[in-house]
Amino acid sequence: MEAVTILPNTAQQEPRKTLGLNSYADDAEILLDEPKTVKKTNHFIEANTSEIDLKSLKSECIIPVFAKDNELTISHPAFIETAYDAATSFFNGERIETPAIRVSHVVKGRIPEAIHKPANQLLESDKTIYYERCAFAIDVPTIFETVGGNKLNLSIVGVRAYNRENLYSRKTLERFSVAIGFVNQVCCNMCVFTDGYRSQIEVSSTKDLYRALLELFNQYNPAKHLHLMQSLGNTVMTEHHFATLLGRMRLYQCLPQGYQKRLPRMLLTDTQINSVARAYISDENFGSFGSELDMWRFYNLLTGANKSSYIDSCFLDRSLNATEIAVGISSALHGDERYKWFID
């Protein structure tokens, strides 16, 4: 892949009015006047996660090391700061929001001086913690588009899980998952497209990570992604098709492995499929009980259900898979054979 070079912006620039999206989609507008930030009530991922800010993550958590050589891992704060710096450089002149951070799977310890203290006598200063898993979202609200009546902001999402590393060995390449796409402001559902997702970035330093992120941002085509999402609203399925699809998705989990491999992948769990069914009936934004369901709303039922995923590589994998399923079912409704099994 060609190297990406970011040069400082020293010249006086005219205010930008649009983001060139060619023939794929309407131009995304660029906000010139910064609106006041509204506190979000929705989260981009939920499950068993807790919210934390970057300052607390840096000051309250220790950094794990590789046991055999005592080399530091690339910490969660370093990952987030590197992604923020890359976004600031690549989207020079745009407004970059403060990262929204979610963590899970706390690992507790204690300082050496407190090794022999009973647990009920430990002071806060005796305790150490770090979070095994961390996910963040960095929004770029000045790059947006409206699809199906919903405002979508450009967003960068990253996932890191120390359980993917062998911390009992020597330091090796470390793994990160990153996606750039659009987040639906109605529900904070993340929309991921193929060229905006790297499921496994393997690096040994923040410098290499920074370079890999710039390459990802450079290869992402927001116009094509927006065009795909806009086209979903042009196809509808009946309640009968939707009920058949739900049944087939449940059946998919139980198919013999050989049969399953002949079908397109479907990563949603039974619990998430149940969430899609409930949302179809009761979701105030995307529910369509008793009427036809357009594929844009169906897509948001899928991405909404995915928010119950744990923080691991499957969260972003399922985000991409939601796009694959929505596009595939839309094509099947127009006669394409690949996803036809799910609605027959």
Q: What pLDDT shows up at residue 313?
A: 58
Length of the chain: 344
Q: What angle do CA 312, 281, 187 make, to 5 degrees?
A: 45
Per-residue pLDDT of the chain (344 residues), as tens digits, is 444 444 444 444 444 434 455 554 444 454 445 555 544 456 677 667 889 999 999 999 999 999 889 899 999 999 999 999 999 999 999 999 999 999 998 999 888 888 888 988 889 888 999 999 999 999 999 999 999 999 999 999 999 999 888 888 999 999 999 999 999 888 788 899 889 999 999 999 999 999 999 999 999 999 999 999 999 999 999 999 999 999 999 999 999 999 999 999 999 999 999 999 999 999 888 988 888 999 999 999 999 998 887 777 588 899 999 999 999 999 999 999 999 999 98
Please report the pLDDT score of residue 335 as a whole number: 93
Q: What is the pLDDT of residue 45?
A: 74
pLDDT at 194: 86
- Report the first-to-last Cα separation within the chain, whole angstroms: 42
Tokens of 54: 């970057």
Please compute, for residue 108, the number of CA atoms within 13 A of its CA located in the half-sphere on the CB side.
7
* Cα distances (Å, whole numbers) of residue 331 to 216, 262, 279, 334: 28, 18, 23, 5
What gap in Å lies between CA 305 and CA 276, rounded to an integer?
6
pLDDT for the residue 185: 86
Whether residue 190 contacts residue 157, with contact meaning beta carbons closer than 8 Å, is answered with yes
Q: Which residues pair with 109 in a beta bridge?
A: 128
**Residue 199 CA to its chain's centroid (Å):** 11
Structure tokens at 75: 């910490």
* Upper half-sphere CA count for residue 39 (Cβ side, 13 Å): 1
> Do the beta carbons of residue 276 and residue 289 sit within 8 Å?
no
Coil vs helix vs strand at 146:
strand
